[in-house]
Structure 1
Amino acid sequence: LVRIIHPRVVNPVTLAGAPVPVSVTANVLAYMLIYGAAIVGLSMLLLLSGMDLETAFSAVIVCVNNIGPGLGSVGPSGSFEGLSAFQHWVLSFGMLIGRLELLTVLVLLTPQFWRQ
C-alpha cells in the first residue's frame, strides 16, 4: 500500500523491526538460486535420458523435497520401478541433496574439503 502512495520509496527488508543485513539477503538468494539450479540440472539429466518433461520435473521435486507422489509415470498410479539404472542414480543423488541439505553436499564436492 505504501508503494501506491509513494511509488519510489525504498524500504529495507526488516525482521522483528530490525533491518536484515545485505549479506544475509544475498546468502538467501544464493541458496535459492543453487537450489533451483540443482532441480533444473537433475531434471535435464533425466530429460536427456529419455524421460518426459512432466515426469522428470516431478520426480526430481519429489526426491529432493521428500514429498508425496509425483506426476506422470511416477504419479500415484505409477512407480519408480520402470526407470533405468541411470535415472535411479540421478534421483538417488537428488535424495542425498534433499536429505543432507544442498550446501553440505556442495562442500563435500569441493577439492578444498578433501585436501585437509
Structure 2
Amino acid sequence: MKTAIVYASVHHGNTKKIIDEIAKTNDVELIDATQTVEKDLSEYDLIGFASGVYGGKFHRSVLKFASVNLTDNKNVFLICTYGGRPVFKSIEQVIAYKHDIIVGRFSCKGF
C-alpha cells in the first residue's frame, strides 16, 4: 500500500515529531505542504493530513494542498496536534467535498 502524509509543522515542530516516528516504521512519503504546492496524489492508496491547530483550523497550507491535489475516493487519515482541543472540521470539509473516506483520526496535545 503506497502511503503519503501531507503535513505542516510550523510552530514547535510537534506534528513533525509524530510523523517522523510513523515514518521510522512504515513506508510512507512525507510531503511538507509549506514547501510543496502541487503533487499528483493519484498513485497513493492512503493519504494522511497532519497539522497543528491554528485558529481552530488545520494549517492553511495543508487545507490548500488538499483542496488542490486530493482526488476523489481516496482513503484518508487525519493527525492533529493542539494546545487547546483537537479540531478536524476544516480538513473534513475538504475531504467531504472530494468524496474521500476518512479511515482514522489521531490527535494529541502539542507544546
Higher relative contact order structure (alpha carbons within 8 Å, sequence separation ≥ 6)? 2
Structure whose residues are more often helix by fraction: 1
* TM-score under structure 2 length normalisation: 0.29
More strand by share: 2
Question: Which of structures 1 and 2 has the bigger CA Rg?
Answer: 1
